[in-house]
Amino acid sequence: MNRFQNTEKQTLQQYIDIGNELQKNERYVKSIAYFLKAIKLAKTIKDNDLLFRAYMKLGNSYFFSWKNEKAIEAYFNALTIARKNKSIDQELIAYSGLIAFLPIIHKEEKAIDFSIYALSIIDKASFKNKENHVRVLTTICDAYMAQGNFNAMFPHIEKGILLAKKLNFREGLVDLYIKKGKYFRHQKKWKKAFECLYKAEKILKENNIAHPFFPKVNTNYAIALCFYDLKKYDDAIQYLLNSIEFIKEKDLEKDNVINTYNLLAQCYSEKGNYKKATTLLNKVIEIKNAASRNKEKATNEFHEQDSEIFLLQIVALQNQGKEDKQKMNYLLLGIIMATSAFFATLILHLKKQKINRARFRRLLKRISSLEKNEKETFSKKPKNEIKNIPVDDSTVKAIIVRLDKLEVQEYFLNANCNLQSIAKKTKTNVTYLSQIINNYKGKSYNDYINDLRIEYVLKRLKNDKKFRSFSIKGIATELGYKSDDSFVKHFKNKTALNPSYYIKELNKMETSTT
């Protein structure tokens, strides 16, 4: 390496170090700019080891600043370089990043697939039985826990604890004891759960742990959850307040902080202190709104950077891949193509998930409004707008009263509910009834019945956990639909979501509060 190349390598290392320091201080937008500079220079001097490191760091900064799609691209680029370098160590690090990231975007099964592969090659890594080995095991535990597969997670916890003890790796040991405590909580073995969590707490108190915020908040939250399960609300409150004491303004938008405030509100609610619970819930709403604003701010700041650099880098990497194509064996090429297809699909899926989550939140707001007024439909017109019906007013009012009574009785759930049967029950004929529904309800008969059914199922699924366990066909039958296809079609027309997605998000929301 000549003197000029050596100087450029020093500059490249400085870019990565500065970006890393900015990342630690949560200045993600600026860290991204430095990592992009590092990537450009690494490609120029063809230093693939530092190029790999820069892409991994870039992926982390994108992830922390809510740029999920770009995070995936960066991690994928790092994995591609690791394979070109034929480095098992780098490949494991890239997979570890992906394993940690995928459960957050609800790709738990793919995270498990990557975990199994990572375990199959870890014996070939230079860091076997070292701290990075412990980190890989903790990441795999996270993937299994996100999937709810606590039994599959447990052997990796035990192996990780033994290795962390041998290495005196305190940070890893704290994380693994928290996970072990969560495992025993899931098993409802409270004594063992507390033993593990108190061990994590003791390590944090007796040692100078690097970056202690997350382990402290996570330990307190896990202990408080156990006390909450046992209905020892005062003890739970004490641990949660201990966390709140050292939470700073910049920490408020973190998920574990929001969970801390939310659980504290639940504890006060269980104690009957509704005023304090309401204050805390308002705090949670305020924090989430702030997080949303910060997300928009981060996005706007990023767009001010020269994004063309990143696009050129992707094109350059793709071109480089084409040049090396003939040198690759067919198996490796097949793996890269399959992985590329997966990430392309995943990026599209992320975009769709983002849209669906926004729709889901709007839907919950609408349901809350409906629950405040059970007689309100999706678009009811005031009663004084009844017109163009060739019957006297008293007859119209009588029909409307009977129609409203049928709504209260939930006759619309009857499989035999049709225009003729409702006309008979409201003591009129189908022509008059159709006109009244059109004018009074502001919609056709078919829309009227489907709106009632979808309104009903939205509220019942939200409030009835047992009903959510029904099959889609079973739910359709309960609503009076002849087929599940008909139910799914009308549900999507009214909500822009699949009923299965709505159910999954409700279950997820309920799980996150327990």
pLDDT number for residue 400: 85
Structure tokens at 152: 């599959």
Could you please report the per-residue DSSP string of 67-95?
A: -HHHHHHHHHHHHHHHHHTT-HHHHHHHH
Distance of alpha carbon 59 from alpha carbon 72, whole angstroms: 7
Is the CB of residue 340 less than 8 Å from the CB of residue 472?
Answer: no
* Ordered per-residue pLDDT tens for the chain, 514 residues: 555 457 888 899 999 999 989 888 878 889 999 999 999 999 999 999 999 999 999 998 887 776 777 888 888 889 889 988 989 899 888 888 888 777 766 677 777 888 888 888 888 888 788 888 888 888 888 888 887 889 989 999 999 999 999 999 998 999 999 999 999 999 999 999 999 999 999 998 887 766 667 788 889 999 999 999 999 999 999 999 998 887 776 666 667 777 888 888 888 888 888 777 777 767 666 665 655 544 444 333 333 333 333 333 333 334 444 444 444 455 555 555 655 565 566 566 666 667 777 777 777 777 776 666 554 443 444 444 444 445 557 788 888 888 888 888 889 999 889 999 999 998 888 888 888 888 888 888 899 999 999 988 888 888 888 888 888 888 999 899 988 889 999 988 888 888 888 888 888 777 665 5
Cβ neighbour number for residue 53 with a 10 Å cutoff: 23
pLDDT number for residue 358: 76
Burial of 43 (0-12, 13-18, 19+ CB in 10 A): middle
pLDDT number for residue 343: 58
Distance of alpha carbon 453 from alpha carbon 467, whole angstroms: 15
* Per-residue DSSP letter, 414: S
Please name the residue that has the structure tokens 């408020």. 252
CATH architecture of 383-512: Orthogonal Bundle (1.10)
Structure tokens at 362: 């709007």
Tally of residues, the chain: 514
pLDDT number for residue 379: 40
Backbone angles phi, psi at 273, to 5 degrees: -90, 75
Distance of alpha carbon 445 from alpha carbon 422, whole angstroms: 10
Q: Where are the domains of the chain?
A: 383-512
